[in-house]
Amino acid sequence: MARDYMVSKLRYPEGVSVLQYDPSFAIRGLTIDKQKGLLCKISSHQKLSNTAVFRGRQRLSRDEVMELYGGSRHISVHDRDYNMEPLNDLFSVAHACLFADVVQYMIDRDIEYEPIALVEDVNQAITNVHLSGEMHKEVARDLPKYIEPNPALRPLLERIRDSGKKSFLCTNSSFPYINAGLKYMLGDDWRELFDVVIVSARKPKFYTRQRSFRMLDIGHKQVQWHAVRALHRGEVYTQGSVYQLSKLTGWVGSRVLYIGDNLFSDLVEPSRANGWRTGAIIRELEDEMHVHRTPEYQRLAFQISKIEELMRSIQNELRSEPIPQNHAFVDQLVNIHEALQTEMENLVNVNFGSVFRADTYPSQFAFLVQRYVDIYSARLENLLEYPSNHTFYPERIAMPHEYPAEAPRYD
């Protein structure tokens, strides 16, 4: 839909209309450099990945990247905030693919283009798909094609309700779209599974602005004008704010666990501004954990760990007795280490590697998960593996200078 909008409304060449989505090309968590027109992966230390910088579908060499960025892979705070566009939601894989394909189309035909204008046009096209309602209409026309039934979802919601806990649904989507999808997944009585249902919430503004709730008259498909003084099970509300939600329900921030799949719309502000506990659904975990269990991945992980041990050992020797040959050997080990790291990442995705890692560092996406998310899982129904009164206690994360705890010895 976004591709066709670019041709019909933004007057891109007709050839763009035959570009096909390739779900294997990109991953979530990439970044677009708007000034340079590049698609890249950035680490938690704000460094460009060694092997994951693309112009269109063409991978740039390390020398090309260094030349473009003035001899450094570091991304300054200014560039990050003003020139970089993160792609962190579930639509970002298609977004990245469309952007890269249009850039490649221009390159292949020697068509001059302005990178930042192309970025803005792709954004406009994707925004139109969401705001026009065309995507929602397409999904509603063929629910079995687009929605995978989840038989474990209703038992999970029923267990939450039966345990005495409260649950609420807060979505930016319209009621007709949500109603069609949840009827298909949960049955006609789906609203009875939630204590509060909020549609058209306008997240993330829902968390930062104070707006009143409005009740939706489902029968007449109209928003009622009278003030909402309480929130009731079975009703549907629109607009509102987290302030009003807390005021009307009495729910305290630290006792709320809010689960979503969009880092910025769902999880950053609830954690940062409201003190909610947050949970992220990251579907990519299933594929990555499957790869982690393969013999090939285990072999590479073992080799990398041994090379790192050897590098540290040689460095310690160099402190007391500098030997030129050892310096050269360390350089060779660094090259081998990088090659093995790339081979390991290619097991996940041959273009951009793991969603969670950029070379030896966590990716920028992983950094945001670590900072703003309390728990994360591949599927919501994984909570059924734990009793309803289960508490997740975080593991202690050691700083580099801290030694692992050892059992005391008694003489």
Separation CA 48–CA 6 (nearest Å): 29
Separation CA 26–CA 236 (nearest Å): 37
Element (H, E) at 170: strand 168-170
Alpha carbon of residue 252 to chain centroid: 27
pLDDT given at position 219:
85
User: CB atoms < 10 A from the CB of 73, how many?
Assistant: 19
Q: 308-327: per-residue pLDDT in tens?
A: 998 888 887 767 666 667 67
Task: Show the 3-state SS of 47-69.
Answer: EEEEEEEEECCEECCHHHHHHHC
All structural domains of the chain with their residue ranges: 2-136, 146-281, 284-385
Percent helix, percent strand, percent coil in the chain, to nearest 5 = 50, 15, 35
Least confident of 30-34, 94-98, 222-226, 269-273: 269-273
pLDDT given at position 312:
86
Comparison of pLDDT for 397 and 382, the residue scoring more:
382
DSSP string, 295-342: HHHHHHHHHHHHHHHHHHHHHHHHHHS--HHHHHHHHHHHHHHHHHHH
Confidence of residue 411 (pLDDT cuts 50, 70, 90): low
Element (H, E) at 376: strand 375-377
Separation CA 22–CA 374 (nearest Å): 32
Does the pLDDT at position 49 exceed 80?
yes
* 146-281 under CATH 3.40.309.10, yes or no: no
Mean of the per-residue pLDDT values for the chain?
91
Separation CA 328–CA 135 (nearest Å): 57
Enter the tokens of residue 9. Answer: 């409304």
Separation CA 316–CA 265 (nearest Å): 47
Does the pLDDT at position 405 exceed 70?
no
Cis peptide before 204 (omega within 30 of 0): yes
Q: Distances from the Cα of 148 to the Cαs of 135, 186, 369, 381, in angstroms? A: 17, 12, 26, 14
42 bridge partner residues? 48
What's the pTM value of the predicted model, to 2 decimals? 0.90
| 187 CB-side CA count, 13 A | 9
Q: Report whether 49 contacts 358 (CB < 8 A).
A: yes
Q: Report whether 172 contacts 265 (CB < 8 A).
A: yes
Q: 139-187: per-residue pLDDT in tens?
A: 989 999 999 989 999 999 999 999 999 999 999 999 999 999 999 999 9
Residue 321, phi then psi, degrees to nearest 5: -145, 85
pLDDT given at position 220:
80
Q: 209-257: per-residue pLDDT in tens?
A: 889 999 999 888 889 988 899 999 999 999 999 999 999 999 988 899 9
Confidence of residue 396 (pLDDT cuts 50, 70, 90): confident
pLDDT given at position 284:
93
Separation CA 220–CA 241 (nearest Å): 24
